[in-house]
């Protein structure tokens, strides 16, 4: 029913329930992301945001319900298939190869797109070299895009925390996603870094990439998103523009932890 009208929907989550034993992490959740928007997924701790991300990126299989990307079901697909299909993500905690340079970390992301096999890489076939060179140029462009090109040759563990988070975004972009999912990208950022991140997210959207954001910083979420879904105890309790969501009594109650009528 709901998917009939979702003409320009990029990603549709339809009646998704996900249980871990007795815990219902997602309870009949439905929403859809429109192409080209910045979409926020928010909610108190344990609301089910990360579980939802994981279901959308092939880490978890929903107990029931449908997830469609560009109209096609992605339930049961492998993570790399989903990446190749156009969904990229970053993680709550930095996950880089600490001994590799910044540039190499991005090239690893770009590698997911290479057509040559492992054999080709081992025997250094000409096609592999050509693709590796393309990867290097593209990777430099991405480092420039996120603002850390000057750190390209530095091993990533020597980068500042903020630079590492930018590097993760560059690496995710290296897979040429149409949807970029950012899991708490502003965690640990100071106010100035948050403003820069907000600008980077807008810049990414301006290149045509749809952005899904999980973020605890309300000011950032309200400032950058076009639409927001709010989860609480695995259920969707609100959906709308930042202004609509901010004024919703259910959302206020969820965040303050008080009954609606007492708020």
Ligand X SMILES: Nc1ncnc2c1ncn2[C@@H]1O[C@H](COP(=O)(O)OP(=O)(O)OP(=O)(O)O)[C@@H](O)[C@H]1O
Asked if residue 161 binds ligand X (CB under 6 A), the reply is no
Binding string, residues 214-243; x marks residues near ligand X by CB under 6 A: ------------------------------
Binding string, residues 174-213; x marks residues near ligand X by CB under 6 A: ----------------------------------------
Asked if residue 48 binds ligand X (CB under 6 A), the reply is yes
Asked if residue 129 binds ligand X (CB under 6 A), the reply is no
The region of 19-27, 156-164, 246-254, 255-263 touching ligand X under the rule CB under 6 A is 19-27
Name the minimum Å distance from CB 67 to ligand X. 15
Asked if residue 23 binds ligand X (CB under 6 A), the reply is yes
Asked if residue 20 binds ligand X (CB under 6 A), the reply is yes
3-state secondary structure the chain: CHHHHCCCEEEEEEEEEEEECCEEEEEEEEEEEECCCEEEEECCCCCCHHHHHHHHCCCCCCCEEEEEECCEECCCCCHHHHHHHCEEECCCCCCCCCCCEHHHHHHHHHHCCCCCCHHHHHCCCHHHHHHHHHHHHHHHHHHHHHCCHHHCCCEHHHCCHHHHHHHHHHHHHCCCCCEEEEECCCCCCCHHHHHHHHHHHHHHHHCCCEEEEECCCHHHHHHHCCEEEEEECCEEEEEECHHHHHCCHHHHHHHHCCCHHHC
List contacts with ligand X (CB under 6 A).
20, 23, 25, 43, 45-51
């Amino acid at each position: 029913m709901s998917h009939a009208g979702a003409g320009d929907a990029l990603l549709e989550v339809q009646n998704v329930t996900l249980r871990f034993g007795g815990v219902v992490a997602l309870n009949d959740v439905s929403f859809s992301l429109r192409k080209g928007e910045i979409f926020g997924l928010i909610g108190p701790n344990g609301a089910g945001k990360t579980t939802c991300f994981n279901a959308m990126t092939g880490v978890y299989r929903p107990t029931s319900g449908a997830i469609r990307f560009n109209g096609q079901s992605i339930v049961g697909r492998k993570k790399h298939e989903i990446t190749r299909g156009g969904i990229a993500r970053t993680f709550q905690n930095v996950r880089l190869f600490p001994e590799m340079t910044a540039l190499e970390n991005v090239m690893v992301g770009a590698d997911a797109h290479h057509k040559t096999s492992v054999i080709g890489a081992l025997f250094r076939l000409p096609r592999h070299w050509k693709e590796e060179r393309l990867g290097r140029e593209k990777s430099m462009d991405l480092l420039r895009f996120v603002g850390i090109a000057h750190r390209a040759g530095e091993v990533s563990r020597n980068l500042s925390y903020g630079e590492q988070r930018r590097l993760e975004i560059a690496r995710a972009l290296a897979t040429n996603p149409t949807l970029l999912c950012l899991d708490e990208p502003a965690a640990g950022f100071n106010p100035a870094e948050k403003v820069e991140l907000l600008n980077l997210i807008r810049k990414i959207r301006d290149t045509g990439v749809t952005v899904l954001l999980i973020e605890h910083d309300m000011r950032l979420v309200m400032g950058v998103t076009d639409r927001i879904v709010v989860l609480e105890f695995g259920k969707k309790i609100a959906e709308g523009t930042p202004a609509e969501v901010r004024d919703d009594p259910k959302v206020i109650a969820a965040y303050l932890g008080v009954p609606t009528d007492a708020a």
